[in-house]
Chain A
Amino acid sequence: MKVSYFPGCTLKNKAKDLDLYARRSAEVLGVTLEEIENWQCCGGVFTTSNDEVATKLSSVRALKEAAAKGQPLVSVCSACHNVIKQTNHAMQNDAFFASKVNNYMGQEPYAGETTVYHYLELLRDVVGYDQVKAKVVNPLAGKKIAAYYGCLLLRPNSTMQMDDPENPTIMEDLIKAMGAEPVVYARRNECCGGYVTMENPEFAKRKSLDIIENAKAAGAEVLVTACPLCRYNLQKAGTDMPVVYITELLAEALGVKEVTNEQ
């Protein structure tokens, strides 16, 4: 099957691995990620104020492009996904906001028809983790992997609707499907410090260290995330805990990590 794909600014730059391994793994699983034409940066964070219109238009454009093709819209970056899903939710539920957007854009009105998936949801709900498991050629047996959700994947839960926001399993179940052992720890859905790392790196470091120490105490050997900013903050904390993208492990398990002739 084909789905519309919104990579986002960071996956074209500092987080190329997140993008590359997501595409390759999807192909193995029978899904082609078709990049939206002329997509624009989502802005990184959703602005909750209902009088903010311009900051949400790039998401609406991407959503409309997917709607025109009759495809769901997928992103793998947790931040892009959060912004796009919250924008879609606002288009569905806030008639005043939606009318402002539609008046401005002036073409076919859009009312939130597109289904928005995070890559993990695509794997769990469309492909199915049993299918993922069936395609694993290189099981990550014996690896103790701790999923780091952070904030953006799960919250606000009323909109994201991905999993139980306090006791999620979507990443742990994927880790199991890849043949590894998930490590559950308390701080997996607490914030790493996010963008505050720009002007206050020490603060972000404290937040990230709390997370890493907690995961380590639970027996984790490696942390996985789907967010480039989480990965950056966790790595900058300066511990010896490896932090990798979930798509990189997936590509390894599916046996496509080392392919070099990518499109």
Chain B
Amino acid sequence: MSSNKKFLQEELTRMSGVNPKKCMKCGKCSGTCPAYDEMEYHPHQFVSMVESGDIEPLLNSKSLYRCLTCFACVDRCPRGVEPAKLVEAVRLVAVRKQGANHMTANDVPAMLDDDIPQQAIVSAFRKYTK
């Protein structure tokens, strides 16, 4: 593994507190994930790809913005791996780059209707931008 990949891998495990080596590859996290059909990479793949250092495809994937932060994969993983925390760490590494916000204030007006709660807007901003 290149030193850059190694650094990124260590950074992600540090930020998330997730140890991908605990995973026994049962797939339960992906089986219970409500965003499964919308994702190119699924929660179990986030775990295995971070473990193998294959992180670049995850950083560039829209899957980062499909995760609902529902914590189903966290609570239902039989090994306590907590995949959502890894998805979050990869998303943060992606959006912390300058100009890499997934959503901007200019995008918002087109998404609004009369009923949408403020909570939806602040939550999306928290997940998609830095």
Contacts and interface: CB of A to CB of B under 8 A. Distances in A.
A156 B88 contact: no
A263 interface: no
A14 B120 CA distance: 11
B10 to A, nearest CB: 13
Interface residues of B, number: 38
Interface string B54-71: 000000000001101111
A179 interface: no
Interface residues of A, number: 46
A199 B119 contact: no
Contacts of A156: 71, 74-75, 82
Interface stretch (A25-33, A127-135, A140-148, A189-197): A189-197
A203 to B, nearest CB: 6
B98 to A, nearest CB: 17
A42 to B, nearest CB: 8
B118 interface: yes
Contact of A195 (B34, B75, B107, B124): B124
Given A14-B117, A49-B88, A155-B75, A44 B122 contact: yes
Secondary structure at chain B's binding surface: helix, strand, loop or mixed? helix
Contacts, number: 131
A47 B118 contact: no
Nearest to B108: A198
Interface in A195-212: 195-200, 203, 207
A67 to B, nearest CB: 25
A44 B119 CA distance: 6
B72 interface: yes
9 contacts: A13-B117, A43-B126, A44-B120, A45-B123, A49-B92, A154-B75, A195-B124, A198-B108, A228-B117
